[in-house]
Amino acid sequence: MYILECADGSYYTGSTNNMELRLAQHQAGEGANHTKKHLPVKLVYFEEYARIDQAFYREKQVQGWNRKKKEALINGMPQKLHDLAECMNETHYKNYSNGGFGSAQPPQPPRSLSEVEGSEVEGSEVEGSEAEGSEVEGSTTHKQAEGR
């Protein structure tokens, strides 16, 4: 699995079983459409795997990451990956002062007694569950590319 930095500053993530050949293909404009349009490219990070299916799995994982998370990986700061993976959306449960977690709806402002009188109970709250991320296990070698 490898990450290239393109001339426009964007990142391209791929996998191969022959890094030297694949890098030469990218530089010659014979690689992916993205790298063809943003030459030249520079190898900034790579990981070696014993099996190509493991490299492909990792490629797909890293492709889903945001720029800051990829840069933490490229710059050798794995301790930042967990923090950068946390949801920062305004609807995230940590952004609600009264919790918000466990409710499918954002918290509503309190209603006055006159609004509540005569109204029926609306719905019920459903407990949510937190999904845990997975990590790739196995024999890997992580390396920063030279010049970074």
Tokens 């918000």 belong to: 100
Per-residue pLDDT at 84: 82
Report pLDDT for 86. 75
pLDDT at 31: 87
pLDDT digit string (tens) for 119-146? 554 444 444 434 333 344 444 556 666 6
CATH level 2 (architecture), domain 2-87+135-144: 3-Layer(aba) Sandwich (3.40)
Going by pLDDT thresholds of 50, 70 and 90, the confidence category of residue 41 is very high
Residue 53: exposure state from Cβ atoms within 10 A (0-12, 13-18, ≥19)? exposed
Half-sphere exposure of 11 (CA within 13 A, CB side): 22
Task: Name which of 69, 66, 52, 58 is nearest 137 in CA terms.
Answer: 58
Give the model confidence (pLDDT) of 49-106 as tens digits: 999 999 999 999 999 999 999 999 999 998 888 888 777 677 766 665 555 555 555 5
- For the entire predicted model, the pTM comes to 0.62
Model confidence pLDDT, tens digit, residues 6-25: 999 999 999 999 999 999 99
Identify the pLDDT of residue 117.
Answer: 57
Extents of the domains making up the chain: 2-87+135-144
pLDDT digits over 28-37, tens only? Answer: 999 899 999 9
B/e letters for 70-92, b = 16+ CB within 10 Å, e = fewer, are bbbbbeeeeeebeebeeeeeeee
In degrees and rounded to multiples of 5, residue 62 shows phi and psi of -70, -35
Give the whole-angstrom CA distance, residue 28 versus residue 81. Answer: 33
pLDDT of residue 122: 46
